[in-house]
């Protein structure tokens, strides 16, 4: 089982790479057969190709991420974070609660993001 420190490091790397638009680095944090359900209720994506396509869709957007809180238990983490998108004349913020499970190497085996359109705020 990965340590809490290793899991926290993966979450921080995930948020940093997301802000940078570093799609390949994000994909490298996931296991080969990982799943994403973002937001909850959306189709579940599986594997590196689907994960790459998911993140590539927003890689060029100007954005910032901020970790608000994280809780690690066993091989899972739940964390509240903020994604701020800057479109020049407008800024919006989404504050998902993401839940990730990890393999023994602290790679993401699954990610589920709890948010809905009503959680999007114009700043």
Which residues are known to be catalytic? 14, 38
H or E element in which residue 45 lies: strand 45-46
How far is Cα 88 from Cα 99, in angstroms, rounded to an integer? Answer: 31
Let me know: does 55 contact 26? Beta carbons within 8 Å: yes
Cβ burial of 74 (10 Å; 0-12, 13-18, 19+) is: exposed
How far is Cα 69 from Cα 107, in angstroms, rounded to an integer? Answer: 20
In order of 29, 71, 107, the CA distances from 111 in angstroms are 11, 14, 11
């Amino acid at each position: 089982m990965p340590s809490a420190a290793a899991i926290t490091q993966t979450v921080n790397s995930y948020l940093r790479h997301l802000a940078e638009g570093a799609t390949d680095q994000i994909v490298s944090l996931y296991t080969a057969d990982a799943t994403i359900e973002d937001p909850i209720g959306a189709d579940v994506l599986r594997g590196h190709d689907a994960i790459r396509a998911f993140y590539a869709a927003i890689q060029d957007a100007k954005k910032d991420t901020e970790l608000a809180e994280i809780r690690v238990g066993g091989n899972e983490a739940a964390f509240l974070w903020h994604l701020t998108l800057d479109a020049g004349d407008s800024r919006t913020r989404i504050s998902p609660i993401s839940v990730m499970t990890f393999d023994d190497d602290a790679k993401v085996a699954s990610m589920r993001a709890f948010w809905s359109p009503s959680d999007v705020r114009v700043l």
